[in-house]
Amino acid sequence: EKLWQTIMARLEESARHTTRRAVAVSLSALLALACMVVVATVASSSAASKSIEQELAAVPRTVRTQELTLKAKAFDWGETNPDTGMMRVNCSTTVARDKRFWGDVGQKYTVECPENCAHNGNHMPYGCAPYLDDSGICKAAIQQGKLGNDRGIVSFVLVEPIEKYVGCVGYPLKDPFPDPPREDGKKTKKKWHVVTSEDWTWQQWRKGVNKTTGEVTEKLRKKYREHCPTHEFCFGLRAFNMSGGQMNLGVQFPDDKAFVDAGSNALITAAATQELTVETWVYDDNLLPDSAYVSSIVVDSKVKTKSTGFNLGTHSGHFAFGLATKTSGVFSYVTAPDFLVEPNKGKWTHLAGVYDGTSVKLYVNGKYCGCSGDFQSGEINYGSASDLLLGAMTAGTGTLAGGLLDETRIWSSARTHTQIMQFMKKTLPTPFQSTLIAYFRWDGQKKGEADGCEETAGFTTIKMVGAKIAESHASVDMGEESKNCKK
């Protein structure tokens, strides 16, 4: 204690009579002295050594506990989406416990669910179509396949309560998103379809049900809904059915033969002559020397610089955006620096390539990487007719094996940095802007299917060659349900 008092006194004296650099030097010297004293003390006392070792051993556990506590407190995304006004719920939200859903039978609600609700939150689904009102809304949606383990939109409707909520038949015996393996080697024992309502929930129920018709009487409604016991909530008052939902989906490329052929690029070549923006979320753990995520390119196999069209993908192992113009007659790229490439390998990453008529620009996760104005200006050179491809540079050869794409957009305008940042982490609202040529959102489709769809309805002959719809974990908020591709 006396040692640290001496150190603080010396620092105060240094602060009055020396420069900042001198203070830093003094601090380093004093800290080194303090460490030497502590080490000497520990070496001379076994009891002190044992005490210090115990304290040090406890630090990681304490720090970890604090970290988990902070993370738990940090997740509070509020009751409404600040951009769309849509109601938000968490993984434990139920109709019974949230006053926002204490409506009348027949009332419908659409809410946003957060990610990881298969593993987080209480209140398992009680029953299956309908569900007891104390069932977790998001967990019920997952059980019915309306939602994945990522964030998404869920719709449900309030219905009359019933006496018994029978578990789902035909649904998986176990949690469709099992927890990671336990350290003790034991298996988790989650069984969803056998969960039903408890008998004690309905002690007074039979007294209020018409014995002939089985219908709920006004007496029962009054008892439960108007004279609820003095608790924070009552359950058994309502039931609900899932009426819809959309999970966050993308397109997956299982191997190097998988790609998506969206059909002719005629819409792009007609609209995006002087300006062009190509955006996508991508998951790529390979980062090939040269690959294509979103491209409409006519490759010159002999002289690559004589290729035409555009490509958002990789070049020399770096994220890149390139194109050719009629003025230059050369295909050139702008690439991302190393510090924006390696850290994002095998992670969901947002890329945006922009051409404004005078320069080619690239953004990685909203960060401006640089531009190339040495070669390109004027009208884009698309060359001969070609198709718009996802996950491939040329038809038949995939370049995103094991990867995924999500929220792919093509614009006939040069999007500004502000515009890119504004909608980078959210779905585009309807009605769409007139400069949006193509929008591959994927959310309205079914996981596992190989049937492509595009939101603006401009591309109607989409071929999924080995590619399939899969759950996406891109950091994108669903502002509203998919319209054109909803199934």
Summarised one tens digit per residue, pLDDT across range 375-413 is 789 999 998 888 999 999 988 888 999 999 999 999 999
Across the range 321-347, mean pLDDT stands at 93
Angle at 251 between CA 473 and CA 414, to 5 degrees: 85
283 and 404 in contact (C-beta within 8 Å)? yes
Residues 93-128 pLDDT 10s: 999 889 899 888 899 999 999 888 888 888 888 887
- Phi, psi angle pair for 458, to nearest 5°: -80, -25
Q: What is the DSSP letter of 127?
A: B
Cα 16 from Cα 424, distance rounded (Å): 50
Q: What is the pLDDT of residues 28-71, one digit of tens each?
A: 444 444 444 433 443 444 444 444 344 434 444 444 444 444 44
Quote the CA–CA distance of 472 and 281 in Å, as a whole number: 10
Decide if pLDDT at 141 tops 50. Answer: yes
Q: Is 391 left (phi over 0), alpha (psi -120 to 50) or beta?
A: left
Beta-bridge mates of residue 410: 278, 438
Query: At 263, which helix (H) or strand (E)?
Result: strand 259-264
Is residue 173 very low, low, confident or very high in pLDDT (cuts 50, 70, 90)?
very low
Instruction: Give the pLDDT band (50/70/90) at residue 228.
Output: low
DSSP 72: H
User: Is-contact 121 91, C-beta < 8 A?
Assistant: yes
Q: How confident is the model at residue 292 (pLDDT cuts 50, 70, 90)?
A: very high
Q: pLDDT band at 217, cuts 50/70/90?
A: low
Q: Rounded to two decimals, what is the model's pTM?
A: 0.70
Range from 64-73, 280-289, 330-339, 402-411 carrying the lowest mean pLDDT = 64-73
